[in-house]
């Protein structure tokens, strides 16, 4: 009789199954999908902020308040219960207004912080942090946040920036 050489089909299937089980259990430890999920969510919030900002600006144009600085105390009604403070026709960085406009769940998913002072200044920033990512002292440029700098002059637009690094 001739001697058999090689592996049987059953042996090969068993090895493939064992490798599959190892890959399923080990891969998540090497691939961090949480950071990608946080960053994608922050980019979606940025897009929502841009849309809301455009809507408020359109309403301020209709009302003729697009040239009013924050100190004039102008507001735009976005629905039957919410008025938004504006600066040069765009929303200010008031976290209450943004929380209402975007319907952000601040209890479970996000934390919000106002950095600097509201109105008429480039230091006024509204930041949205992914859950558990807000530092003890929020500051401009913090990782894992979306930050909004309100308009500071007639014809200027607000700046909305996503800072990754979750």
End-to-end CA distance of the chain: 65
SS (H, E, C) 50-84: HHHHHHHHHHHHHHCCCCCCHHHCCEEECCCCCEE
- What is the pLDDT, as a whole number, of residue 18? 94
Cα 116 to Cα 21, 49, 50, 107, 112: the distances in Å are 51, 19, 21, 23, 13
Token pair, residue 109, equals: 């998913």
Put simply, whether the predicted model's pTM sits higher than 0.85 gets the answer no
Confidence category of residue 130, pLDDT binned at 50, 70, 90:
low
- What is the pLDDT, as a whole number, of residue 137? 74
In this predicted structure, which of 17-21, 116-120, 143-147 has the lowest mean pLDDT?
Answer: 116-120
pLDDT 10s digits, 14-27? 999 999 998 888 87
- What is the pLDDT, as a whole number, of residue 122? 42
């Amino acid at each position: 009789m001739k001697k058999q050489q090689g592996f049987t089909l059953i042996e090969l299937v068993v090895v493939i199954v064992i490798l599959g089980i190892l890959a399923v259990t080990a891969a998540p430890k090497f691939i961090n999908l949480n950071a990608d999920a946080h960053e994608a969510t922050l980019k979606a919030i940025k897009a929502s902020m841009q849309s809301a900002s455009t809507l408020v600006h359109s309403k301020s144009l209709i009302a003729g308040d697009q040239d009013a600085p924050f100190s004039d105390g102008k507001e735009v009604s976005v629905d039957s219960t919410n008025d938004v403070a504006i600066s040069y026709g765009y929303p200010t960085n008031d976290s209450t207004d943004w929380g209402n406009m975007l319907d952000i769940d601040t209890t479970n998913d996000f934390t919000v912080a106002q950095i600097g002072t509201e109105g008429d200044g480039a230091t006024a920033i509204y930041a949205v942090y992914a859950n558990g990512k807000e530092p003890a002292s929020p500051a401009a440029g913090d990782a894992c946040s979306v930050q909004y700098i309100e308009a500071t002059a007639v014809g200027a637009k607000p700046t909305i920036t996503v800072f990754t690094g979750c």
